[in-house]
Structure 1
Amino acid sequence: MVKSKSNLLYFIVCFWGSFSLSAIAQEHAIKGRVTAFRSIPLSKVSVVCKGSDTEVLTDEKGVFSLVCDEKGKLKISANGFYSENIKLRNFADSDSVIVNLRYRNGEKNFEIATGYGHISEEQLTYAIQHLEADSDYSNYRTILEAIEGRISGVSIRNNAINIRGATTINSGDVPALLVVDGTIVEFPVFVNIPPTQVKSISVLKGAAASARYGSRGMGGVIVVKTKSTD
């Protein structure tokens, strides 16, 4: 009986020992960098290992490091930017994670992002002013995200795009006309354009929209050129 109890105790110790080693082996030391506009480092960004209480903040260079379950997720968030959830298994062969947060356009978010110290006013002002000159839209998941992230005064709701200042009191809230490679398209067609195929996005309103599209451009015009036109 004593021997039987000893064997059982030995089995339990071995089992829990192997379980603990397995659990420890699943933890992964992660280093990463958080940026915005693909090059500007963001500081004081919250990086959380989901499923645990582990949280760190990025430094002034946007760099962070923490230990997390290698099969877990990181939630990366900063005020004034869209949060990102990162699956660590996508970085199984690397100890380094690079994350680019997308800016939430608008004056309020400008004040929030700079007020919390994530980015300086000078850097954010420069980035916003040069967004339309940057033709790489591949970081966006949809063309609507690209428009919201790059063009000020544009809102998307009820399957329509509205441009602030493009309509008058008499005309009401008229949705923007959508033009792709010179052809007017409906909203369902427009939203299915892959961002990777977009060459440029322009906004016309007022006299510029009316001169080219007449009354159809009363609510402004979103003009998209794709790479297929090259």
Structure 2
Amino acid sequence: MKFTFIVTLIFLFVFAQSTEAKEREIKGKVTTFGKIPLNKVQINGKNLDKEYLSDENGNFRFICDEDEKLTFEAHGFISQKIKVSNFDKGDSIKVDLRYKSGKKNFDEATDFGHISASQLNYAIAHLEAGPDYSGYRTILEAIEGRIPGVQVSNSGINIRGTSTLNSGPTPALLVVDGTIVEFPVFVNIAPSQVKSIDVLKGGAASARYGSRGMGGVVIVRTKTQN
């Protein structure tokens, strides 16, 4: 009887140990546009003892259960969830939040201190290649709403401030890896292959492309360019 009791206690102890969630320290960084650090990103989890925040360099570090699912949230950005178990111990976890675009989201992102206005303005005007590009269906979708003053239609791209009194908006000149291309060619560029996008207008456009750039210029560099 005594032996059975001892065996039972040992079994219960082993069972309790096996069912108890294992904890580990995790660390990582939260960014946007592939490289800009995000400050004060809220990190929540079902079994976390409290809410954690990324620091001014986007870094975070805390202890949580190995089976925890973490949610990263910031005003003006699309939230993202990750499973801790998908990463090996010691790995640095990289989380890149996608910016929602629009004035309301711009104001929220900057007012809540996630990113400075100058950083966000630069990122919007000069889209760097990053994880979020693969989420777009077309290059037009990637450009639309992300670059101030640019309007996209089924026939071309118009840049605000380039029209004249005698004529309507003039479609922007499209340049890919240094070569002027037609609109049908431009729209077939895979977003995942885009390295950067720049917009020129006014004197900057005329200086480089003459009268051809009177409607502004959209310059795209792809990852295949040397």
Whether TM-score is above 0.5 comes out as yes
Kindly indicate whether the alpha-carbon contact (under 8 Å) linking 1:105 and 1:152 is maintained by their aligned counterparts in 2. Answer: no
Change (3 A) 1:153 1:68: farther
CA–CA separation in structure 2 for the residues paired with 1:149 and 1:101:
17
CA–CA separation in structure 2 for the residues paired with 1:130 and 1:188:
22
Q: Which residue, out of 71, 74, 78, partners 1:78?
A: 74
CA–CA separation in structure 2 for the residues paired with 1:161 and 1:85:
37
Match of 1:125? Answer: 118
CA–CA separation in structure 1 for the residues paired with 2:149 and 2:67:
40
CA–CA separation in structure 1 for the residues paired with 2:15 and 2:112:
42
After TM superposition, the runs of 4+ consecutive aligned structure 1 residues lying more than 6 A away are 159-162, 175-179, 204-209
1:29-56 residue CA offsets vs partner (Å, 9 max, x unmatched): 223332345555433211122x435532
Match of 2:29? Answer: 33
Match of 1:87? Answer: 83
1:76 positional shift: 0.7
Size of the alignment, in residue pairs?
A: 210
CA–CA separation in structure 1 for the residues paired with 2:78 and 2:104:
14
1:1-230 paired onto structure 2 within 5 Å: 3=1, 7=4, 10-11=7-8, 13-24=9-20, 26-37=22-33, 40-49=36-45, 51-52=46-47, 54=49, 55-94=51-90, 96-119=92-115, 123-129=116-122, 132=125, 136-142=128-134, 144=139, 147=143, 151-153=147-149, 165=160, 180=176, 182-184=180-182, 185=184, 189-190=188-189, 192-195=190-193, 198-203=194-199, 212=212, 223-230=219-226
**One-letter amino acid of the counterpart of residue 35, structure 1:** T
1:83 positional shift: 2.0
Change (3 A) 1:161 1:129: same
1:74 positional shift: 1.8
1:148 positional shift: 5.7
CA–CA separation in structure 2 for the residues paired with 1:224 and 1:57:
36
CA–CA separation in structure 2 for the residues paired with 1:82 and 1:133:
20
Kindly indicate whether the alpha-carbon contact (under 8 Å) linking 2:174 and 2:180 is maintained by their aligned counterparts in 1. Answer: no
TM-score, length-scaled by structure 2: 0.62
1:203 positional shift: 4.1
Paired residue secondary structure (1:94): coil
**One-letter amino acid of the counterpart of residue 121, structure 2:** I
Change (3 A) 1:75 1:10: same
Structure 1 portions without partners, runs of 5+: none
Change (3 A) 1:212 1:43: same
**One-letter amino acid of the counterpart of residue 129, structure 1:** Y
Structure 2 portions without partners, runs of 5+: none
Paired residue secondary structure (1:194): helix
TM-score, length-scaled by structure 1: 0.62
Paired residue secondary structure (2:78): coil
1:45-91 residue CA offsets vs partner (Å, 9 max, x unmatched): 11122x43553223444333333332443211100122222232342
RMSD: 4.6
CA–CA separation in structure 2 for the residues paired with 1:226 and 1:39:
18
